[in-house]
């Protein structure tokens, strides 16, 4: 009998969108025992969480959803009564959720500590993105540094890593990488104002970036539009 | 008529315990328009949140409680079915909540961003404390660095500051500073297993450190014990 090799655990932030689905596929391909974390922060496109569950199941990941009520803070078109814009504007857009990635990575860090995981993956991307400050490489490096100061593991000498494998990829590259790793993009939900069935508007920033990715990669767009 | 001078806003993490009450008093004394933030993370000593509300009211601060469900992550005597220890042990204790201060500061950062506040206060203390990694000066400095990378304000050139005015004070110094600033310690709740009325056990780590502080400062302990 072969003994089962114990895989190292990793926590992967999985929103239900295409980027985090590809990130989960990459973590699995790297051999991690994957623990997918979704954060229910009061986003209006709540159907993305159903997408997250489907993606986690597809890749055999343990899945957990943690609630944090960012609606009580407001300040974003994704959590407050501010309309989602349907064309690009200069600067940081109103869909930016204050400190969202910091909060989600902090929760991932907490779960990683409970699991004894030293690796956290997130799908942030600094190329075809919406211009959010917390999607930049220097933010990811800063969080990794903090993680090693903040935790029992860090204090006791373990080295925590924040992986952002998509950070320098174009949307077309992300599509290609996902297809190589058998990601079923039809089950993912990127739209900021997806309906209850997860169907996309086709007009918001997230929809435009996603559609352009399929066009640039030269593959058919499997997104379900309403 | 004098024009009202617009005070700079600050977000202060207020748990309901003595340290954060003194921190709020310090922020007010420094002239900030105070916004007190409490985090309901599923702590078993939920009565501390009522203490937070009383403290915020005493100092005329806007008060908000944000929920984040850390029970779904577990891993601590404060959120899971693990007994609170009643005597000190070596190492990081089981009352440590994985990544708690990172998560709470991240939420504070989100609210600060919405408010346009560049100052966040927290009552962490590295002297008479329970040995948590996220109470150390290097953690606070690390979070400040991250805050400036993570946010719109940081990107646009504002400088965010994380203030930890108690970090190098002994518990007795904290008591003295609080009395100087009229903190009503009887309304604060430090006990890890306070009952529904906020009455303390007198035996856990938090109770022992608090009682020692009053003794060392040479003042009567106003804590309501059960």
Residue of B nearest to A75 (CA): B114
Interface contact B150-A133, CB threshold 8 A: yes
Beta bridge partners of A162: A120
Report pLDDT digits (tens) over A10-35.
Answer: 999 999 999 999 999 999 999 999 99
Q: Which of A69, A99, A113 sits opposite B151 (nearest CB)?
A: A99
Position B223 in a domain: no
Closest of B127, B217, B216, B224 to residue B185, by C-alpha = B224
Task: Look at chain B and count its residues.
Answer: 226
Report the C-alpha gap between A208 and B83 in whole angstroms.
51
Position B112 in a domain: yes
DSSP label of A1: -
Per-residue confidence (pLDDT) for residue A41, from 0 to 100: 87
Lowest mean pLDDT among A93-97, B154-158, B188-192: A93-97
Position A51 in a domain: yes
Report pLDDT digits (tens) over A154-200.
Answer: 778 889 999 999 999 999 999 999 999 999 999 898 888 888 888 99
Mean pLDDT of the region B71-80: 76
Q: pLDDT at residue B36 above 60?
A: yes
Residue of A nearest to B68 (CA): A68
Report CA torsion sign: B13, B16, B17, B22. Answer: positive
Interface contact A114-B73, CB threshold 8 A: yes
Per-residue confidence (pLDDT) for residue A1, from 0 to 100: 45
Q: How many CB pairs under 8 A join A and B?
A: 152
The SS3 of residue B213 is: helix
Q: At B20, which helix (H) or strand (E)? A: helix B18-29
The total of structural domains in chain A comes to: 1
DSSP label of B197: T
Report the C-alpha gap between B81 and A177 in whole angstroms.
42
**Percent of chain A at pLDDT exceeding 90:** 60
Mean pLDDT of the region A120-127: 91
Per-residue confidence (pLDDT) for residue B83, from 0 to 100: 74
Residue A168 near residue A127 (C-beta atoms within 8 A): yes
Mean pLDDT of the region A94-115: 90
Mean pLDDT of the region B153-179: 92
3-state helix, strand, coil in chain B (%, to 5): 40, 10, 50
Closest of A73, A139, A59, A78 to residue A106, by C-alpha = A139
Could you tell me the CATH number of the domain that includes residue A147? 3.40.50.620
Whole-Å CA distances, A215 to A18, A54, A126 = 15, 24, 19
Q: pLDDT at residue A2 above 60?
A: no
Per-residue pLDDT band for A128 (boundaries 50, 70, 90) equals low
Tell me the residue range of the domain where A150 lies: 9-217
Report CA torsion sign: A53, A54, A56, A61. Answer: positive
Report the C-alpha gap between A94 and A13 in whole angstroms.
22
Position A224 in a domain: no
Position B1 in a domain: no
Position B226 in a domain: no
Question: Mind spelling out the 3-state secondary structure of B169-193?
Answer: CCHHHHHHHHHHCCCCHHHCCCCCC
Residue of B nearest to A41 (CA): B68
Q: DSSP characters for B98-145?
A: TTHHHHHHHHHHHHHHHHT--EEE----SSSS---GGGSHHHHHHHHH
Position B99 in a domain: yes
Position A30 in a domain: yes
């Amino acid at each position: 009998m072969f003994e089962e090799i114990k895989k190292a655990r990793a926590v992967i932030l999985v929103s239900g969108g295409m980027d985090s689905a590809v990130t989960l596929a990459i973590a699995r391909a790297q051999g991690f025992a994957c623990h997918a974390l979704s954060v229910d922060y009061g986003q209006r496109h709540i159907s993305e969480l159903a997408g997250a569950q489907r993606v986690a199941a597809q890749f055999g990941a343990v899945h957990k959803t943690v609630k944090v009520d960012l609606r009580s803070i407001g300040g974003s078109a994704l959590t407050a009564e501010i309309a989602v814009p349907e064309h690009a504007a200069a600067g940081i857009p109103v869909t930016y959720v204050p400190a969202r990635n910091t909060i989600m990575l902090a929760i991932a860090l907490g779960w990683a500590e409970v699991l004894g995981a030293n690796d956290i993956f997130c799908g942030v991307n600094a190329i075809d993105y919406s211009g959010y400050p917390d999607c930049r490489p220097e933010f990811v490096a800063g969080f990794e540094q903090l993680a090693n100061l903040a935790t029992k593991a860090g204090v006791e000498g373990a080295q925590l890593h924040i992986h952002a494998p998509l950070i320098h990829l174009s949307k077309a590259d992300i599509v290609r990488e996902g297809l190589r790793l058998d990601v079923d993009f039809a089950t993912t939900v990127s739209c900021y104002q997806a309906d209850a069935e997860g169907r996309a508007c086709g007009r918001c920033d997230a929809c435009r970036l996603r559609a352009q990715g399929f066009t640039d990669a030269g593959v058919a767009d499997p997104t379900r539009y309403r």
